[in-house]
Amino acid sequence: MNYKLRCMHCGKIYSPDEVKYTCPVCGNRLGTLEVLYDELPNEKKFDLEHKGMWAFSKFLPVKADHFEVPLLVGNTPVYEKVELAHELGLSNLYVKDDGRNPTASYKDRASALAIAKAKELGISTIYCASTGNAASSLSGLTAASKMKSVIFVPKSAPAAKITQLLVYGATVIAVDGSYDEAFDLSMEVGEEFGWYCRNSAVNPYLLEGKKTGAMEAAFQLNWKVPDVAMVSVGDGTVVSSIYKGFRDLKESGLIGKIPTIIGVQAEGANAVMKTFESGIFDEPNDMEAHSIADSIAVGKPRDVLKACKYVKASGGKFISVSDDEIGHAIVELARKTGIFAEPAGATTYAGLKKIKDELKGKSVILFITGNGLKDINSVKEFVAQPYVVRPNLKETKEALRDAGAI
């Protein structure tokens, strides 16, 4: 696909050869770029089962022979939840479970795109600064692709998260400093060695990979898109990608409308929401972030401008929910749908619960961005203890009676 890049801040249009990642005038933070295609295809058949997200390759900024990641990324299920919809007063509810990607998160869609672009450029090492899903996704998919990954994390990152990266063979640099220092160091080192950058927002192509989540959903729903799409928000790239996926489909004529996009943040990390509500999108309201939803506990969101502009264009908004609401949402979502989401994934459901009255009568799709197995510990305090019995029928019956099971 032929495409151009437009700065989200100054609006200047570049050809792909002119710029690497961001607008040279507006810089890394505000000068994020969006990918604009010269022409969007209008075809209706997509082989999700065999190709996953690459079924949409004609909507992606890659050359056909570069996009082979030998793992099936995407083709995640979307479930219709009629009963739960009615319980919440909605006309219908769809849940897309992206925890079923190869490394169990939405981020695989971006990593796959990064690998395709790096191959196109003949670069075999890809780096990122992340403690979470972006890092595990990049390390897993580069391993499958016989490429190298270098991951910069703050030294304080949880050992279990780092273990997964090391299993995949990533080179992990634990920086004795903050996440922001790890981020800046990664950019400096990546630049010096000419590695490919998989830092969200900075690299405009990652969003293009992520948008396939929205496109898949539209295809799976036979192009009848819901009124509202909800997703959790940290850096702002995923929520932007949901909008972009629907916008590209609308431009291509495959769908008739773009859903209203509602981004859900954790209360302790709602910098995008604050910026959106200020109305001045190019003056980010950074903060110190705290939330159990570590995948979206971002204080300095890198894609804030795009997220605000796109969500506004959709007629949507940002809301935020407390950690307590997130914890209970994990449990309720699991019990009502069988989908065990990581805290950031269930944040979306917590948001839906919070504003269900506003959404009365509407159809809604929730994007669940990661699997709960990634972070079992954070949910412990939201469930009761098991019933302990000695191995005899009498004690067991008492326990079962207490539990309401008999």
User: Which lies closer to a second copy via its Cβ, residue 273 or residue 352?
Assistant: 352
Q: How does DSSP classify residue 195?
A: P
Report the run of H or E that residue 174 belongs to, with start and end. Answer: strand 171-175
User: Which lies closer to a second copy via its Cβ, residue 175 or residue 269?
Assistant: 175
Q: Where are the beta strands (DSSP E) in 62-192?
A: 78-80, 92-97, 125-129, 148-154, 171-175
User: Which lies closer to a second copy via its Cβ, residue 36 or residue 189?
Assistant: 189
User: Which lies closer to a second copy via its Cβ, residue 36 or residue 334?
Assistant: 334
Question: Tokens in use for 316?
Answer: 């949507």
User: Which lies closer to a second copy via its Cβ, residue 137 or residue 291?
Assistant: 137
Q: Decide if 98 contacts 370 (C-beta within 8 A).
A: yes
User: Which lies closer to a second copy via its Cβ, residue 189 or residue 287?
Assistant: 189
Report the run of H or E that residue 229 belongs to, with start and end. Answer: strand 228-232
Q: Taking the alpha carbons of 34, 341, 94, 260 in that order, is the dihedral positive or negative?
A: negative
Q: How far apart are CA 360 and CA 210, in angstroms?
A: 29
CB of residue 63 to a second copy, shortest distance in Å: 22
Question: Tokens in use for 296?
Answer: 């979206």
CB of residue 325 to a second copy, shortest distance in Å: 16
Q: How far apart are CA 120 and CA 98, in angstroms?
A: 27
User: Which lies closer to a second copy via its Cβ, residue 167 or residue 280?
Assistant: 167
- What 3-state DSSP class applies to 321? strand
- Say which residue the tokens 């927002």 belong to: 201
CB of residue 65 to a second copy, shortest distance in Å: 18
CB of residue 175 to a second copy, shortest distance in Å: 5
CB of residue 70 to a second copy, shortest distance in Å: 6
What does 238-306 look like in DSSP terms, one character per residue? HHHHHHHHHHHHHHTTS-S-PPEEEEEEEGGG-HHHHHHHHS-TTS--------S-GGG--SS-TTHHH
CB of residue 66 to a second copy, shortest distance in Å: 17
Q: Decide if 318 contacts 351 (C-beta within 8 A).
A: no
List, in sequence order, every residue forming a beta bridge with 341; answer none if it has no partner.
371
Q: How does DSSP classify residue 370?
A: B
- Count of CB atoms situated within 10 Å of the CB of 161: 18
In this structure, the strands spanning 260-266 and 317-321 are: parallel
User: Which lies closer to a second copy via its Cβ, residue 125 or residue 252?
Assistant: 125
CB of residue 248 to a second copy, shortest distance in Å: 23
Q: How far apart are CA 352 and CA 371, in angstroms?
A: 19
Q: How far apart are CA 406 and CA 397, in angstroms?
A: 8
CB of residue 266 to a second copy, shortest distance in Å: 19
CB of residue 322 to a second copy, shortest distance in Å: 19
The edge-to-edge listing of strands for the beta sheet with 228-232 is 78-80, 92-97, 363-368, 228-232, 260-266, 317-321
Q: How far apart are CA 239 and CA 212, in angstroms?
A: 12
CB of residue 181 to a second copy, shortest distance in Å: 4
CB of residue 135 to a second copy, shortest distance in Å: 11
User: Which lies closer to a second copy via its Cβ, residue 2 or residue 392?
Assistant: 392
User: Which lies closer to a second copy via its Cβ, residue 149 or residue 285?
Assistant: 149
User: Which lies closer to a second copy via its Cβ, residue 182 or residue 319?
Assistant: 182
